[in-house]
Amino acid sequence: MSTYLMTLQYDGTRYNGWQKQGNTPNTIQEKLESLLTRLYGFPVEIAGSGRTDAGVHALGQTASFRIPDKADHYSCEDLFSQMNLYLPLDIRVLSVIPAGERFHARLLAKSKIYEYRIDTGSPADVFHRRYALHVQERLDMAAMEEAARRLTGAHDFLGFCANKHMKKSSLRTIYHIELRQEGVFLIISFCGNGFLYNMVRIMTGTLIEVGLHQKSPEDIDQILWQRDRSLAGFTAPPQGLFLVSVSYQ
């Protein structure tokens, strides 16, 4: 078997998320698998590094797929050009490279970086309404940074998970959270070894509530300790979230 690693970006606005579903072909995974199946003439399954929700975007999503040695093979250059020729314009393949036979884009991922973008201008920027959450009220950056510091490290993040019936471990490590202002846009960057369902969006909503003085930085400790989703902030909407990169080192 030959294994390939693909890096891609997509605008998630009009898609029902990454993962293929039985009731709709309108997912990123379905679009990619359908095209690869057409190119090779037999079913090809891909494994993404993770599942982005409906409306969430990616600047550097990764996915792997395997092709039997007996099959006709495309070069990486041909795959790159053919996929970008036939994919919708809001999905682009950035690179295709050979990978080790046992490589798996999700199982071998070591860390991921997500960014959440907040438009703090008045009025909201018309051209970024699909790519940022508008918050017009003044945000207390110092309080948000203190809350972010309390989220950093190895914790049980069940209180920041939208899955009420989580059976697997909810222990994750957040390596760093950075807040930076770029013009009217506040960008919150999260780097960790993995993220639970809606975890980044819930952490973002919680940090926003801290910035609005609806919660205190000290509340973070209680949410982590109690492991109770109802204590955390709102789930920030999907359009402001971007999967930036996935690391395998």
Residues involved in catalysis = 53
- Describe the crossing of helices 141-151 and 219-226 by its angle, rounded to 10 degrees: 30
Tell me if 63 sits within 8 A of 50, measured CB to CB. Answer: no
The strand pairing partners of 10, in sequence order, are 58, 91
Q: b/e string for 184-202 if b means 16 or more Cβ within 10 A?
A: ebbbbbbbbebbbebbbbb
Tell me if 47 sits within 8 A of 93, measured CB to CB. Answer: no
List phi, psi (to 5°) of 96. Answer: -135, 125
Tell me if 114 sits within 8 A of 189, measured CB to CB. Answer: yes
Rounded CA separation 139/215 (Å): 12
Rounded CA separation 117/180 (Å): 10
Closest Cα partner for 65 from 27, 90, 21, 97? 97
Q: How many CB atoms lie within 10 A of CB 78?
A: 12
